[in-house]
Amino acid sequence: MFWKMIFGALTRQKSRLLLIAFTVALGVSLATAMLTVMFDVGDKVNQELKTYGANLNVLPKGLSMLGEMYNLDQVEGEAARPEQHLAEADLGKIKMIFWAYNIVDFAPYLETKIMAGNRPVILVGTWFDKHLNLPTGDEVDTGMTRMKSWWDVTGSFGRDDEPRGAMVGASLAAELGLKAGDALPISGLEGQDLGSLEVCAVFHSGGVEDGQIFAPLRLVQDIAGKPGLVQRVEVSALTTPENDLARRAAQDPGSLSRLEWDTWYCTAYISSIAYQIEEIMPGARAKAVLQVAESEGAILQKTQLLMSLLTILSLACSSLAISNLVTASVMERGTEIGLLKALGATTLSVVLLILVEILITAFAGGILGYFVGLGFAQIIGRTVFGAAVTANAMAAPLVALLVLLVAMAGSMPAVRMLLLLRPTEVLHGK
């Protein structure tokens, strides 16, 4: 009989229960959309922040980067510094560290000086878009093309399989009167002929690169006489914002306790990624570019905090709206409840009847709302980030719990009121 009554209520009180289901669906879709976006927004914004460029520099031990900033003239005696190189063959290892999945892109660089248009110019060799087969069986596409998305490029990005294709910086191109498609004859510093480069693009970066030429790594290795070697590698990694533990570890990983060390090592802090790269490439030193790493952390944290707060707001709103509606609609049914009580129904069975009815309705609405919410999240993801938002497994149980609590909480005041009702009063038209 209990289920018959439930069934009767569900099928025959359509409009009222539909309204509840509808509101629950709305609330749940809002909650789902917000939760899904919230869980994923960190990753998405992190990806976006990659446009700020590499957050790790991998250098040979001992090499420092003097004279790079603002196109300073070479400091006297620079050449006397011990200069080592990294082996190009080792670079694939960067994708084999514990946090390999978080390494978004990396590109090696090798610089050498040449003469172009009667003036010394820095020629930079790099991977434009390199396909790597790792020993682990994974395949990776990486290179500068992906890391310098903020460059203004007229023409097309260079390609690794065009051995003499080169990209020329805007200020150099202006001085030499070059444009995409031109041929640029180059020679060594002592005047030996090095053939000519095909200019495939002119780029504007706003930095020192505007005065340089970028060419495939192989070509530059040949010109510089450093086969199989690179000078430095820029790595772009998805990282977790730094905290105290990470800062202490960055100072000295040895100062951590065993447990702290494990936590640190297994979290994608920039310092632990750097440490892991150093581990896997013994001759290398990985330096976090704090300008990028710190700012990323700050912005990520703000965005995530913001989204969490907005999510809490929308959760609170949908909870209030749902429970409000449930209360209002249960209150309406005073007469029916009075009748049931007059017929000798126990308080418990009446309460149970109402709760089961509301819960069934709420869950029907909730399931619908969940999928609509996922849809909303996808729309947001597609429009904003141009990528699908990953549905987090956490969202579903959270939403289910929410619906359960909210529906119960919403029924409570009504149930309390109903328990106080005297059947006679209700039936006598009050």
Partner 1 sequence: MALVVYNLKVEMLREVFVNILEIQDISKIYGTVNALRNITLSVQQGEWAAIMGPSGSGKTTMMNIIGCMDKPTSGSVILDGDDISRLSSEELTGIRRDKIGLVFQQFHLVPYLTALENVMVAQYYHSIIDKEEALQSLERVGLQDRAEHLPRQLSGGEQQRVCIARALINHPKLILADEPTGNLDEANEGIVMDLFRQLHCGGSTIVMVTHDPGVAAHAERTVVLEHGRLARITSNPAKDF
Partner 2 sequence: MKKNTSFMIKMLCCSLVRRRSRMAAALLGIAIGAAVLLGMVTLCYDIPKQMSKEFRSYGANMVLVSSGRESMNLDDAAKAVRHFPEGALVGMTPFRYIPVRHNMLPYTAVGTDFDAVKKTSPYWRVSGEWPAKENEALVGADIAEYARISPGRTLAIDGRNSKHAKFEANITITGIVKTGGVEDGFIFMRLPDMEAMTEEKGLADVAEISCSAGEKELQDIAAVVRTDVPSLEARLVKRVIQSEAAVLGKLEMLLYLVTLVVLVLTMICVATTMMTVIMERRREIGLKKALGAEDRRIAKEFFAEGVILGLVGGLCGAICGLLFAQFVSASVFDRSVAVEFYLIPAAIAVSVLVTVAACLLPVRRAVEIEPALVLRGE
Residue 394 interacting with partner 2 (CB under 8 A): no
Partner whose footprint covers residue 261, from partner 2, partner 1, none (CB < 5 to 8 Å by kind): none
Q: Exactly one of 317, 404, 421, 427 binds partner 2 (CB under 8 A); which one?
A: 317
Residue 428 interacting with partner 1 (CB under 8 A): yes
Tell me whether residue 184 or residue 202 sits nearer to partner 2 (CB atom).
202
| Beta-ladder partners of 214 | 124, 167
Integer CA distances (angstroms), 48 to 43, 92, 377, 380, 387, in order: 9, 24, 18, 15, 11
Residue 29 interacting with partner 2 (CB under 8 A): yes
Alpha carbon distance 21, 362 (integer Å): 5
Helix and strand element counts for the chain (H, E):
13, 14
Least gap, CB of 67 to partner 2 (angstroms): 8
Per residue, the 3-state secondary structure of 123-149, as one string, reads: EEEECCCEEEECCCCCEEEECHHHHCC
Residue 429 interacting with partner 1 (CB under 8 A): yes
Can you say how many angstroms the Cα of residue 236 is from the centroid of all Cα atoms in its chain?
12
Residues 373, 30: contact at Cβ < 8 Å?
Answer: yes
Partner whose footprint covers residue 139, from partner 2, partner 1, none (CB < 5 to 8 Å by kind): none
Can you say how many angstroms the Cα of residue 168 is from the centroid of all Cα atoms in its chain?
32
Residue 204 interacting with partner 2 (CB under 8 A): yes
Residue 150 interacting with partner 2 (CB under 8 A): yes
Q: H helices of 148-213, where? A: 170-176
Residues 107, 233: contact at Cβ < 8 Å?
Answer: yes
Q: Exactly one of 8, 78, 83, 189 binds partner 2 (CB under 8 A); which one?
A: 78
Least gap, CB of 342 to partner 1 (angstroms): 15
Alpha carbon distance 11, 145 (integer Å): 61
Least gap, CB of 51 to partner 2 (angstroms): 4
The interface region with partner 2, picked from 106-114, 233-241, 323-331, 348-356 by CB under 8 A, is 323-331
- Residue 286: which residues within 8 A CB-CB, separation 6 or more? 56, 57, 58, 59, 235, 273, 274, 275, 277, 278
Residue 144 interacting with partner 2 (CB under 8 A): no
Residue 33 interacting with partner 2 (CB under 8 A): yes
Partner whose footprint covers residue 430, from partner 2, partner 1, none (CB < 5 to 8 Å by kind): partner 1
Residue 298 interacting with partner 2 (CB under 8 A): yes
Least gap, CB of 249 to partner 2 (angstroms): 13
Partner whose footprint covers residue 419, from partner 1, partner 2, none (CB < 5 to 8 Å by kind): none
> Which amino acid type is present at position 407?
A
Partner whose footprint covers residue 72, from partner 1, partner 2, none (CB < 5 to 8 Å by kind): partner 2
Query: Which candidate, 311, 342, 368, 390, places its Cα nearest to that of 22?
Result: 368
Partner whose footprint covers residue 66, from partner 1, partner 2, none (CB < 5 to 8 Å by kind): partner 2
